[in-house]
Structure formats: structure tokens, C-alpha cells
Amino acid sequence: MSLKNAIKEEARRLGFALTGITTPEPPPHWQAYEHWLSLGRNASMSYLSDPRRADPRLVLPECRSILVLGVGYPQPGPAAQNHAPRPVGRIAAYAWGSDYHLVLPQRLKVLAAFIQAQVGSPVPIYWTTDTGPLLERDLAQRAGLGWIGKNTCLIHPRFGSYILLAEILLGIELEPDAPFTSDRCGRCTRCSAACPTGCILPDRTLDARRCLSYLSIENKAEIPPELRLQLGNRVFGCDACQQACPWNRDPKLPPDPAFNARPGLPEPELALELALSPQEFKRKFKDNPVLRSKRVGYLRNVAVALGNAGDPAALPALERALQDPEPLIREHAVWAVEQIQKGMGIH
Ligand code: B12
């Protein structure tokens, strides 16, 4: 068996259902990416202007090939109405189980050791998922894993877009796979029509300043008042543009069990969440992506979701949140109380 095939086989054994190899050249849409940054569409994510993103060889100078890997995660059903007896929130599907930033590096480490052992001499190597200075979707497209759709997601023709990506940069040459060249979005615009804030732009980028995923996860400040209603019951991330995508209709990629939903997720009861103490929050979301928003960001989102649910039964929980030590939580709880009172005809 060739080294390339042995590596791919080991990657699949470790749970990476998708594997592809590409060259270390600069990412194909670098210019579009720079333009996107120059317009401020990265919002407060200043780490995205790291100049190393321009060329993988700025990350690993000896890089001669890149192994791009993908794993599936559970797919949410169609956007549901809130029928629960008490208002519940909604967490994006990638965050229902263990945090991929913890799960995938463990596997990448094993795979990197396997490659070193197969080669028999030290190989310059760098592995990452999400946080490394790489344009992962561009590399995945060039490694043949799928195309970049109108919702900006990497879409696999059989497995859809509920896929997480990881890469290993290697100081050895492996034969590259053919890039995925066709664009299968056609004239479909369901993703942009489904986006509650209209943040998906016609040039295959999005404006993070209006993206509900950004606003509920990465954003550390207030949620702009004019976008709070659109948040609906989302308390962490957003899947609207993926749920609308026809390529996600029949999930064929078995989701990796590491990302199966934990008890109580994906639809936590909002009034209970609002009462989480710092210790309870840490315990509940240990090793889960929600930890990233910290208690302050999560409870800010929960308060908005309660305001949007408009249930007067939530008023006592919100009134307790008006005493929270975090000003950001208090401010969003005030908004939520006002929303509920408006619904009751009290001004
Ligand atoms: C910053 C970031 C975000 C930001 C900004 C997202 C965005 N679309 O710009 C926010 C917080 C909003 C976000 C949200 C989400 N993210 Co995110 N995010 C990232 C991160 C760290 C960088 C992305 C980036 O550089 N954005 C800037 C834009 C311009 O680049 P891009 O999104 O890669 O899009 C490419 C296209 O626009 C293309 N392009 C430009 N012009 C043109 C023109 C044509 C014709 C074509 C074909 C392509 C093209 O070039 C860009 C660069 O490759 C990557 C990890 C990484 N290191 O790459 C994960 C990553 C993209 N995110 C991921 C996930 C899972 C999500 C969410 C689904 C989470 C959620 N449910 O809430 C959402 C999806 C929202 C969406 N539609 O993108 C996965 C996506 C996997 C996939 N199948 O695509 C990644 C790859 C992380 C990972 N390791 O798995 N994310």
C-alpha cells in the first residue's frame, strides 16, 4: 500500500470519514478573503487578519503537502416551532456533544505519530482544527472534499455540510487529490432567504456583524437591539443556512458519536439556564463548545431568548437576573422584561 493510502486508512480508522490531500500553495480565494477583511466583515475577530493565513508555508516553512480531514456531526431536524410547555433554547448542532477542539487534536496527534513511524525519520509537521491560521474551507475544496456553497460552508456532494474540518501540514510530498471543481448550488438561494438577518452576501461570504452565530458565540459585547428579535430562541450558534440547504436533506454521513447530544441538550429550558451560577455553568458545559461564550455570553443570549418567547411565567427568573453581577446580563434581562411586558400590553 502507498504511504498516501496507508495514511488515509489510518485517518478513517481514527474517525475521519473524509480525507484529501492538497498542495501547500496559497489558498485560492485569498484575494476575496483580504477584501472581506478590508470591509470589516470579520466584526471583532481580529485574529483573522493574521498574515500567515496567506500561505500555509508561513505556518510550516517545510510544508510540501496538506492532509485535509473531515468528520460528521449530528444533523438538526427542520427548524422547529417552540412547542415545549416551558420555553426552551436551541444550541447549534456542532455543540451538542464534546468540543471538537478537544476531540479532534487527540486523533490528529495519533495520526501524526503514525505518519512519523511510517516514514521512519522525523517529518516536519503541524496539525490544527479551526484555530490555526489557515483558510480551512479553501484547503478542503482544493483537497477534493466538496465545494464552497452560497452559505459559505464546505458542502460534500453526498454528506452535506454538517462536517468539521482539520488539517495536517506535512514536510513530505504526497500526491495531491483532484480539487472539487463543480459548483452544485446552481440557482438555489434558500440559504440566504432563510438567514434571519440577511447576512449571507452574494459573493460567497457573509457579514459576521449580522451573523447570529457570530453574535451569540464570538461577540463579547451586547447583541445589537435591532437584531435581538431575529435571534429567536438560539442561545449558542445558528444553523439556519445549513438547515435550509437541500444538500443536507438526507444525511448519509454517520455522525461521529463524540458529538452526540448530551442529556438536556440541544434544547435547554431557558428559565433554568438563566439561574446557572458560575460553578454550575462550568460543570454543565465542561468539555462542550458552549464554554467558549462564557457564562456571561450564554446568559446574555438566554435572556434575549426569554424575551422573544414572551412568556410572563419567565418574569420571576428575569427579575432575579436583574440582580446578576454581570452588567451585560442585567442589560439584556431589562430588554427581555420589556418585551414580555409589551406582549402583555404593559408599557
Ligand atoms: C471565523 C469563523 C466563523 C465566523 C465567520 C464565518 C464566515 N462564514 O466567514 C462565524 C463565527 C460567523 C462562524 C460561524 C460558523 N462556523 Co465557523 N469558522 C470560522 C473560521 C475560524 C474562519 C473562517 C473564515 O476565515 N471566514 C472568513 C470567510 C471569508 O472565509 P470562509 O468562511 O472560509 O469562506 C471562504 C469562502 O468565502 C471563499 N470564497 C470567497 N469568495 C469566493 C467566491 C467563490 C465563487 C467561491 C466558490 C468561494 C469564495 O473564500 C473563503 C476563504 O476560504 C473557520 C476555521 C478556519 N480556520 O478556517 C471556522 C469554520 C469555517 N466554521 C465552521 C462551523 C462549523 C461554523 C458554524 C456552522 C457554527 C454554527 N453552527 O454556529 C457557523 C456557520 C456559519 C457560516 N455560514 O459560515 C466550520 C465549517 C465547516 C464547513 N462544513 O464548512 C469551520 C471550517 C471550522 C472547522 N474546523 O470545522 N465561523
Q: What is the C-alpha to C-alpha distance for residues 282 and 287, in angstroms, rounded to an integer? A: 9
Asked if residue 206 belongs to a domain, the reply is yes
Residues 137 and 26 in one domain: yes
As a whole number, the mean pLDDT across the chain is: 96
Residues 56 and 145 in one domain: yes
Q: Is 130 a catalytic residue?
A: yes
137 alpha carbon – ligand 1 mean position (Å): 7
- The pLDDT score that the predictor gives to residue 84 is 67
Asked if residue 257 belongs to a domain, the reply is no
Q: Atom 53 (ligand 1): residue with closest C-alpha?
A: 138
Residue 87's contacts (CB-CB under 8 Å, 6 or more residues apart) are: 233, 269, 270, 271, 305, 306, 309, 311, 314
Asked if residue 218 belongs to a domain, the reply is yes
Q: Which domain holds residue 239?
A: 190-251+262-343
pLDDT band at 253 (very low <50, low <70, confident <90, very high): confident
Mutate to test the pocket of ligand 1, among 152, 161, 209 (most ligand atoms within 8 A of CB): 152
Q: Atom 37 (ligand 1): residue with closest C-alpha?
A: 205
Q: Report pLDDT digits (tens) over 290-304.
A: 999 999 999 999 999
Residue indicated by cell numbers 462536517: 163
Residue 71's contacts (CB-CB under 8 Å, 6 or more residues apart) are: 15, 16, 17, 18, 100, 104, 163, 164, 166, 256, 259
For the CA of 163, the closest atom of ligand 1 is 83
Asked if residue 49 belongs to a domain, the reply is yes
Residues 146 and 226 in one domain: no
Q: What is the C-alpha to C-alpha distance for residues 230 and 210, in angstroms, rounded to an integer? A: 10
Asked if residue 217 belongs to a domain, the reply is yes
How many CA atoms does the CB half-sphere of 254 hold within 13 Å? 6
Does residue 80 register a pLDDT over 60? no
For the CA of 132, the closest atom of ligand 1 is 57
Query: Would you give the DSSP letter of residue 192?
Result: H
For the CA of 161, the closest atom of ligand 1 is 83
> What is the tally of structural domains in the chain?
2
Residue 255's contacts (CB-CB under 8 Å, 6 or more residues apart) are: 72, 73, 74, 75, 162
